[in-house]
Amino acid sequence: MQPFHTIIVLFSLSCVVLSQNTQNINVLLVNEENNALAEKAFEVAKEYVRRNPSLGLAIDPVIVVGNRSDAKAFLENVCRKYNGMLSEKREPHVILDFTITGVGSETIKSFTAALALPTISGSFGQVGDLRQWRSLSVNQTKYLLQVMPPADILPESIRAIVTKQDITNAAIIFDEHFVMDHKYKSLLQNIPTRHVITPVKSFSKDEIKTQLRSLRELDIVNFFIIGSLRTIKNVLDSADENQYFGRKTAWFALSLDKGDVSCGCKDATIVYLRPTPDAKSKDRLGKIKTTYSMNGEPEITSAFYFDLSLRSFLAIKSLLDSGSWPNDMQYITCEDYNGKNTPSRTLDLKTAFQEIKETPTYAPFYIPEDDSMNGRSYMEFSADLSAVTVKDGASIGSRSLGSWKAGLSNPLTLTDADNMSDYSAQVVYRIVTVEQHPFIIRDDTAPKGFKGYCIDLIEEIRKIVKFDYEITLSPDGNFGTMDENGNWNGIIKELMEKRADIGLTSLSVMAERENVIDFTVPYYDLVGITIMMSLPKTPTSLFKFLTVLENDVWLSIMGAYFFTSFLMWAFDKWSPYSYQNNREKYKDDEEKREFTLKECLWFCMTSLTPQGGGEAPKNLSGRLLAATWWLFGFIIIASYTANLAAFLTVSRLDTPIESLDDLSKQYKIQYAPVNGSSAMSYFERMANIEGRFYEIWKAMSLNDSLSEVERAKLAVWEYPVSDKYSKMWQAMKEAGLPNSIEEAIQRVRDSRTSSDGFAWLGDATDVRYQVLTSCDLQMVGDEFSRKPYAIAVQQGSPLKDQFNNAILQLLNKRELEKLKENWWNKNPNAKRCDKQDDQSDGISIQNIGGVFIVIFMGIGLACITLGVEYWWYKWRKRSTIGEVTRVEPAKVVRNVADPADRPEYSFRSRNQGMTNLKRKF
């Protein structure tokens, strides 16, 4: 019996020693109604302490569960429980605050701070988010502690993904397991990403589809879903039905749940981030879950509250065991608190909490050493990043991309950065445009269906600002004007209503447009309004020199020529003093010209030329006739020469319009801009301004309150301000504004002459291009109302700064000048037009070339005549009789001037068969 008695004594002694080392910890647990997982984890921690007596702990908890939104009732319940603990002499060593967020949670923070109760909180919130704990003293930060739960730190991975992927827009959708109210500003702060944070509205698929459509209409292409796997599946299924999967969108899923992402998607790839327990903690986690039935989901959240509870118990025990717990801890009831009697504490709970060496169940806590814990402490877990591919509702593979270490600013750790870039939404901007040569030209063979100056420009910009684009024409074909009701149309309307991201064409920067959209820096010089008219067509003719005189004049000259030649022949034939009738008298003269009819015709012809007519007739009547012909010819030639010069010059002096003032002062030529264009707005507004000025002047002139001196200063007979634009606008409306550039050009081409037709007033670049590609149009006058061209974007769009930077780089590299050179000087559609006659130029070959034809015709006729003469001499027929050569007397040539005065005979021989007879006598 003695050994057994000894064993009993030893057991009793050990129990006494153990009871002396066991610390009773009074805990006031404050929780929310919808956070049952935290309370269950607390119970597991309490059971863990109970089953492990070596810890030397005994937990005596008081639990208060309240409604987050009913702060008053919540506080009353807490105060009642707390006051009950004080009355029972069970002052709480620590307050475990498992409230999540909201006024109820802030009420508990105010309660603990006011009564100076050591508190460890698992509420959501980063630095400064716990409003009631913002202005804590140094001592208070040592016993009012907060550790962010995993659901509060997981969204920080979005910042890492956005930064790594260079995402410019994002929608963050979360469910009830996450609190994002305090993330709206801080999550993507100082990152140029346009983003929306919104909760999942319901579990109804139709409502989720509507919600996604609303987000998509905001031009969002990157979607982040934070929630349970069930929430993620519902959102992905809705997105699939909306056909939101493809290269234009990217989907990221973040969850604290175990398991893989699933959905009924036809073809989708989702980047999935989920936490995993540390390798050192896996065995402990499995043991706790098995032994203590800690099977709440998500397991990381259960592990967090378990570790937070156990670590709090051990920290209080450490303070009690080490004697660091004050012996004179004072507690006051809620009723005793008057706002100024907060007890003073010197308790360093933070250090004790930090020094606990208990093995973590999931991942260790990160606690800053030299700073407050609140808003900076969290469970430092790791999360795996993978790409999950789903086809026809089944997952066909998962590809590991890297990992992320939980933290407030930790980056992603990627196995291959290029792999991650494959899962980004390709940034595709919607460009709206209006076809305007050479800036925007429709071309179905081009990669985007368009070509031109602006297409080359946007291609250069996209090399600097990485993006893709799709381009469409403005639905109504307008650039954008505002009506009387303030409503816009065209490109401006598309940008205002978020149906387009970029307005790209020859769009002028105007003040009223800048009120509703944003413009980049100009990419093109100042461009004004100018006039386009049909080019005067100067009629040309190779025989224009013949049109100087009318046909009846030419016929009259020809009649006079033949009549004079005939009279000269008649006078020479019948005058007794003519050469042929008085040969003896003129036998010693060197000039012996017999005026036959042929010679008379020749004489009259040569008399009209600088060569002169030659020897004049001998008879006085013939000479009088010749002198009369010479006088006639001199007058005719002088008149012809003068009129020819004037006739060739007058057509080049037809320049009726040289400026806008010339156009406004005439009435033969109609003129107008294209309806709805900036040029139309300019003239309409100038006319309205003149009208308002007139009304102001009239009101001033008719003001009865003016003194006589003031009225005298306004006493003028006529309105002193020009009304040019009012008259022009009226003329434009009467002429009818064309509805398109093509219509305007056609009306210009239909003009009969440059002084009677239609003139189009449009942007100088449009006019210059039409003149460049046509030879029948001209640009008239200088430019006015000059404005630059720029790219339009939505108001407040980050594209403005990005494009500004790109355009300035292109400007510095002189790339914009190269674009101008390519689309203006080297434009493949440019026409090489004939040079127009200028007053300083000579007479063109088109107008005087007929004289060359005349001389070539004369030369040709002379050559033909020579051939006829040669043939006549060589091959004329001769009379033949047998082989005897017959000698016939030739024509007797009488020469009365010959001294012998005898006829001479010569004989021509014809071969009559006598071969030996000489042909020369």
Residues 881-893 pLDDT 10s:
444 444 445 444 4
pLDDT at 8: 37
- 387 bridge partner residues: 271, 399
CA distance linking residue 487 with residue 476, whole number of Å: 14
Which of 203, 776, 685 is CA-nearest to residue 482? Answer: 685
Beta pairing class for 441-442 and 450-451:
antiparallel
Asked if pLDDT for residue 4 goes beyond 50, the answer is no
Asked if pLDDT for residue 613 goes beyond 70, the answer is no
What pLDDT band is residue 609 in, cutting at 50, 70 and 90?
confident
Q: Which residue has the tokens 């979005």?
A: 158
Q: Which long-range contacts (CB under 8 A, 24 or more apart) does 641-650 make?
A: 643/548, 643/549, 644/545, 644/548, 647/544, 647/547, 647/548, 648/544, 648/843, 648/847, 648/848, 649/839
In this prediction the pTM is 0.61
The better pLDDT of the pair 580, 343 is held by: 343
Asked if pLDDT for residue 900 goes beyond 50, the answer is no
CA distance linking residue 803 with residue 792, whole number of Å: 10
- 397 bridge partner residues: 389
Beta pairing class for 194-199 and 169-174:
parallel
As a whole number, mean pLDDT of residues 118-132 equals 93
Q: How many CA atoms lie within 13 Å of 581's alpha carbon, on the beta-carbon side?
A: 13
What pLDDT band is residue 473 in, cutting at 50, 70 and 90?
very high
pLDDT 10s digits, 70-116:
899 999 999 999 999 999 989 999 999 999 999 999 999 999 999 99
Helix (H, G, I), strand (E, B), or coil: what is residue 572?
helix
Q: What is the mean pLDDT of the chain?
A: 84
Q: Is the Cα dihedral 408, 409, 415, 419 positive or negative?
A: positive
Q: Which residues are annotated as a binding site for L-glutamate?
A: 508, 513, 678, 763
pLDDT at 18: 39
Which of 162, 275, 148 is CA-nearest to residue 224? Answer: 162
Beta pairing class for 365-366 and 378-379:
antiparallel
- 503 bridge partner residues: 432, 792
CA distance linking residue 103 with residue 109, whole number of Å: 10
Helical spans, DSSP H, in 323-380: 349-354
Helical spans, DSSP H, in 659-723: 660-664, 678-701, 708-713
Which of 154, 156, 152 is CA-nearest to residue 191? Answer: 156
Task: Measure CA 918 to chain center.
Answer: 105
Q: Which residue has the tokens 């460009």?
A: 431
pLDDT 10s digits, 265-303:
999 999 999 999 999 899 999 999 999 999 889 999 999
pLDDT at 12: 38
pLDDT at 468: 87
Q: Which residues are annotated as a binding site?
A: 508, 513, 678, 763
CA distance linking residue 399 with residue 834, whole number of Å: 68
